[in-house]
Structures are given as C-alpha cells and as structure tokens.
Amino acid sequence: MTTLVVGANGNIGKIFCRLAAERKLPVRALLRNPEQQAYFDSIGVETALGDLEGAFEASMEDCDRVVFTAGSGGKTGGDKTLLVDLYGAIRVIEASEARGIEHIVMVSAMGVDDPLAGRPAMQHYFVAKKLADQRLRESSVAHTILRPGLLTDEPASGNVRTDLAAGSGHSISRENVALCILASLDHLQSRGQTIDLLDGDMPIATLFE
C-alpha cells in the first residue's frame, strides 16, 4: 500500500515526497505532465499521470492514504480556483470514499472559516477551501486538515505553533508543513483534527501527543 500525493509537483509536494523517500515511506506522486517525472525518478518516488480537471482515479490503485496539497495558485483565475481547489478536492474526496481510502491529509489554509473576513481578492479562494474542508469532514474517510498561514521557502525549524493568538508572525516554512503532513500520517491521534499551523516553538514531533 502507498500514499498518493495530489499536487506532488508543487512546492510542498516536492519537499514532502523527498522527506517521505528519505524515510522509506512509500508514496506515489500524481503529476500532470510526463516532463515532471525526472525529479521524482531522481529521489526514487513512483509517479502516476492524472489531472484534477480530467481523469486521475486510476492513480489511486493500491493506495490506502492520500495527501492533498494541490492548488490552482495565484497566477490563474477564479475559474481554476473552482475547478481545482474546490471541485478537484471534492472529486478526490469522493474517489477516496469509493475506494475505501483510510486517511486523507488535506493542506487547507488559515482563515478559511470566515472567508468574508479575508482580503476581497482572496475571498473566493477561502470559500473554495472552506467548502472542500467541509466536504471532507462530512465524508466517510478519516482525515486531518492542516491550515498553514503564509507559506515561505525557509528551511524547516522543526517547530510550529497551532494557537494563532499565542504569538506574532503569520507565516510557516513549506518544509515545516511537509513535516507536519508526515506527522499526521504517523499518528492515529491526528485523525479528525483541523489544525492551524504557523512557525513557532512547539516541536512537530509532539504535535499529536
């Protein structure tokens, strides 16, 4: 059995796949384009081709867990937010239910519970993420929802904070998020939890203790 990584070629996805390979955790990277395969070959990670705006279900064969860290990104329009961040996530959740996937770790975003409180340009994105998270909570699949703040490319400190009020700063290293995904997969206690994530001083190893 293996873990399907949806959004594997993204910033978090690539780091997560590398860390998983270093730990000998079997993962399969879902890619949109065969030209993206070389990196995953170089780190010894299996790949499958598929697209959230088309067919991807075959990539789930023999998978028991899913990490969802796909996103349409800031350079596309609201149409892609709808098709990828919302409907793509819902389709992955529904396919996971149909295939009896055991656990989904969803990379959501901080602040999505109250979309209208966000910057106007971000509100539709927060709505998409909020509704995808809601669909996941209503699903039959065990899940962990991680809600990072502003993502940075700093190296992992290995420490995070989950209480927004307990400090200043609104960002988190993508590598720290990848370590939190690994911790979520490792710990049964992570299931059913929705967790805000910022860089902080709590060791990620203790996140689910």
Q: Give the catalytic positions in this structure.
A: 125
Looking at beta carbons only, is 12 or 104 nearer to ligand NAP? 12
Least Cβ distance, residue 30 to ligand NAP (angstroms): 6
Bridge partners, residue 127, by sequence:
none
Per CB under 6 A, 51 contacts ligand NAP: yes
Interior/surface letters 66-80, b for 16+ CB within 10 angstroms, e for the rest: bbbbbbbeeeeeeeb
Only segment of 37-45, 48-56, 132-140, 178-186 that touches ligand NAP (CB under 6 A) = 48-56
Task: Name residue 106's amino acid.
Answer: M
DSSP 170: -
Q: Which of 204, 118, 196, 202 is nearest to 164 (CA)?
A: 196
Nearest 5°: CA angle at 27, between 26 and 30?
160
Total residues interacting with ligand NAP, rule: CB under 6 A: 23
Per CB under 6 A, 145 contacts ligand NAP: no
**DSSP E strand stretches across 61-124:** 63-68, 103-107
Looking at beta carbons only, is 88 or 200 nearer to ligand NAP? 88
Task: Report yes or no: 81 and 128 within 8 Å, Cβ to Cβ.
Answer: yes
Q: Which of 27, 84, 86, 92 binds ligand NAP (CB under 6 A)?
A: 84
What is the distance between the alpha carbons of residues 209 and 203, in angstroms, rounded to a whole number? 11
Per CB under 6 A, 148 contacts ligand NAP: yes
Looking at beta carbons only, is 37 or 139 nearer to ligand NAP? 37
Residues 88-107 touching ligand NAP, rule: CB under 6 A, are: 88, 107
Binding site for ligand NAP (CB under 6 A): 7, 9-13, 32-33, 51-53, 69-73, 84, 88, 107, 109, 148, 150-151
